[in-house]
Amino acid sequence: MTVTLPPIPQLECSPLEAARTVAREIAELVRARRAAGRGVVLGLATGRTPLGIYAELGRLHREERLDFANVTAFNLDEYLGLRAGHPRSYRRYMRERLFDAIGLPPEQCHIPSSDVAPSQWEAHCREYERLIADAGGIDLQILGLGRNGHIGFNEPGSGRDSRTRVVELAPPTRVDAAGEFGSVEHVPERAISMGVATILAARRIRLLAFGAAKHEIVTRTLTAPPSSDTPATFLRGHPDVRLYADAAALRGEGSPS
Ligand code: F6R
């Protein structure tokens, strides 16, 4: 039997428009939940793609007094093998790019640890899943897209049912991170990542992709049969996913960036 999955709704817009739209959606969710005396659980990404959203959320906090006190955040992933506080760790990225700017207290910011001993890997990952479940699950997940189709660090080969676990980073992922670490040998070989199933359990997913360098993988994500060859294709089965992408990523217009 052939199962036809619904397409992913696509919104063509500039990175700035996407950042403002997604930040506005988050702000509306935060305010509506606060009015109802409830919390919001956000799933967050690192990398270049969400930077505009984080800048806009910081602006909303500063200039429009958007209060994040009722927000709990869970990051998708973290490099493994970096000492706590390492400048290239995602914990540091999040503190510098978002958490400090919106006044989110550390106890409401969850990121897998970058320095867990191998004997504790499994327990740490299980605990991360438990924390997400105890928080009520993720209301809105922000996602970027790796050139090889990874979401979080679910590299090709990751199953639809995968959960938070230790993953080996794929060679293209390490090459893409080489600039950050000085050279590819310094990029960690492993990470802890939410699984595909963890991501798909989020009630809303907002996927963003910009620049011609993402055109090929955006096309594959939208059209290839869902399979672990391109983990992002699994998003096609999600009931509330949207893709925000510019003309370069959607149609290959302009030069790779
Ligand atoms: C980051 C993450 C990755 C990135 C992806 C795109 O937490 O999970 O999946 O979203 O590698 O990276 P950028 O945004 O730098 O192109």
What number is the average pLDDT over the span 94-101? 98
What average pLDDT score do residues 29-53 get? 98
What global pTM score does this model have?
A: 0.96
What pLDDT, on a 0 to 100 scale, did the predictor assign at position 255? Answer: 55
What distance in Å separates the CA atoms of residue 44 and residue 95, rounded to the nearest whole number? 12
Q: Please tell me the predicted confidence (pLDDT) of residue 3.
A: 65
Percent above pLDDT 90 for the chain: 94
Q: Outline where DSSP puts E strands in 115-177.
A: 140-143, 165-168
Nearest CA to ligand 1 atom 5: 146
pLDDT at 37: 98
Q: Pocket residues for ligand 1 (CB within 6 Å)?
A: 45-49, 76-77, 144-146, 150-153
The verdict on whether 148 is a catalytic residue reads: yes
pLDDT of 257 over the 90 cut: no
Where residue 136 falls (left for φ over 0; alpha for ψ -120 to 50; beta otherwise) is left
Active site residue 110: no
Q: Which member of 56, 61, 77, 215 is catalytic?
A: 77
Choose the weakest-confidence range: 3-12, 73-82, 135-144, 212-221: 3-12
158-201: pLDDT as tens digits? 999 999 999 999 999 999 999 999 999 999 999 999 999 999 99
For residues 44 and 13, the answer to whether their CB atoms sit within 8 Å is no
More confident residue, 102 or 6: 102
pLDDT value at residue 58: 98
* Mean pLDDT score of the chain: 96
Helix (H, G, I), strand (E, B) or coil at 213: helix
The pLDDT, as a whole number, for residue 254 is: 74
- Residue 19 DSSP class: H
Q: Is the pLDDT of residue 5 over 90?
A: no
Has 150 been annotated as catalytic?
A: yes
Q: Which of 39, 31, 21, 1 lies closest to 206 in space, CA to CA?
A: 21
The residue written with tokens 């996927």 in the block is 207
46, 98 in Cβ contact below 8 A? no
How deeply is 246 buried, as exposed, middle or buried, from its count of CB atoms within 10 A (0-12, 13-18, 19+)?
A: buried
Sequence-ordered strand ranges (E) for 82-227: 109-110, 140-143, 165-168, 190-193, 204-209
pLDDT at 30 over 90: yes
Contact assessment for residue 216 and residue 256, using Cβ atoms and an 8 Å cutoff: no
Instruction: Kindly tell me if the per-residue pLDDT of 223 is higher than 60.
Output: yes
Q: Is the dihedral of CA 156, 157, 160, 166 positive or negative?
A: negative
* Residue at 220: amino acid letter: R
Q: Is the pLDDT of residue 116 over 80?
A: yes
**d(C-alpha 203, C-alpha 133), whole Å:** 13
Pair of tokens at residue 104? 């989110």
In this structure, are residues 88 and 53 in contact, taking their beta carbons and an 8 Å threshold?
A: no
Polymer length of the chain: 257
Q: Say how many Å lie between the CA of residue 52 and the centre of ligand 1.
A: 14
Burial of 183 (C-beta count, 10 Å sphere; 0-12/13-18/19+): exposed
Mind listing the pLDDT tens digit for each residue in 125-144? 999 999 999 999 999 999 99
Examine the pLDDT at 242 and tell me if it is beyond 60: yes
